[in-house]
Structure 1
Amino acid sequence: MAHWMKNLKVQPNSTSLEEARKRTFEFFRLACRSIPSIMEIYNLQDVVSPSQLRSTVASQIRKNSHVTNPKVIDMLLFKGMEELKNFVDHAKQRHHIIGQYVVGRKGLVQDLGPKDEGISNFLKNFYNSKYS
């Protein structure tokens, strides 16, 4: 486990939307700092780049940008921190990460281009499905 992950403690509830936003940015920075470790732990260099994983983290955070209740934001941050800790503690398997955060979140599928024209419609639909 990375040394900066060992001292994580559950913070008290945010008192305002500004404080919750600040914590969100802190979580994003923490997640980005953990990407090199995660890439090494799960040997992801052959399937995704660090910048693609950063983009996935950012899109996951942006997905909840409409939330304005600090208590809900705190709950989402807690869940995100739990997920990040599971990655760093190697509590997930490689195929879970690839399926959920690389292929399943349109991480690599969006890069399909003319070179991929030979892919069957079945595979294109599979890559775009919720079951990948």
Structure 2
Amino acid sequence: MASVMLKNVRVPANSANLEEARSRTFDFFKMVCRSIPKIMDIYNLDDVVTVSQLRSIIASEFRKNSHVTNTKVIDMLLFKGMEEFRNVVEHSKQRHHIIGQYVLAREHLVQDAGAKDQGMSEFLKNFYSSNYF
């Protein structure tokens, strides 16, 4: 099952221009979106998140780097994304890793930490707030 999804996953050569890097990014995004139902079956995520919610979470992860225009940086991000995808598909992660990393909103983590910050020094509050992202 994992080998079927991974047969097209290769480390890309360096992109010649921004348009080629953009095309590779869209192709990778489409491949990830097509594999979401299988991933949900592998990790039994049906009770936690829907396919459309997981797709929008993944799309937001891609949008975080939409400002990048350097082709070498885009290629590096694609490589890291493909490695992460490979780890997910090959079941190198456990269910709670997927839920914590992709399903839970990062805002909830920051809000929960704000409740715990009462009684802490200003230095620790600044330290913890800078390391949540």
Q: TM-score scaled to structure 1, two decimals?
A: 0.79
Unaligned runs of 5+ in 2: 115-128
CA RMSD of aligned residues (A): 2.2
State whether residues 42 and 94 of structure 1, in contact with CA within 8 Å, keep that contact through their aligned partners in structure 2.
yes
Residue 36 of structure 1 deviates from its aligned partner by 0.8
Residue 100 of structure 1 deviates from its aligned partner by 0.9
User: 1:112 matched to which residue of 2?
Assistant: none
Match of 1:125 among 111, 116, 119: 111
Matched length: 116
Residue 9 of structure 1 deviates from its aligned partner by 2.0
Unaligned runs of 5+ in 1: 110-122
Residue 65 of structure 1 deviates from its aligned partner by 0.5
User: 1:38 matched to which residue of 2?
Assistant: 39
Partner of 1:73, secondary structure, is helix
Higher RCO (C-alpha 8 Å, min separation 6): 2
| Amino acid paired to 2:57 | T
User: 2:23 matched to which residue of 1?
Assistant: 22
State whether residues 54 and 103 of structure 2, in contact with CA within 8 Å, keep that contact through their aligned partners in structure 1.
yes
User: 1:64 matched to which residue of 2?
Assistant: 65
Cα offsets for 1:21-64 (capped at 9, x unmatched) = 00010010011011011100000000000101110111011100
State whether residues 14 and 70 of structure 1, in contact with CA within 8 Å, keep that contact through their aligned partners in structure 2.
yes
Matches of 1:40 and 1:63, distance apart in 2: 27
Moved over 3 A (4+): 127-131
Matches of 1:75 and 1:124, distance apart in 2: 28
| Amino acid paired to 1:68 | T
Residue 124 of structure 1 deviates from its aligned partner by 8.4
User: 1:93 matched to which residue of 2?
Assistant: 94
Q: Percent identity?
A: 64
Structure with greater helix share of residues: 2
State whether residues 86 and 92 of structure 1, in contact with CA within 8 Å, keep that contact through their aligned partners in structure 2.
yes
Residue 11 of structure 1 deviates from its aligned partner by 1.9
Larger radius of gyration: 2
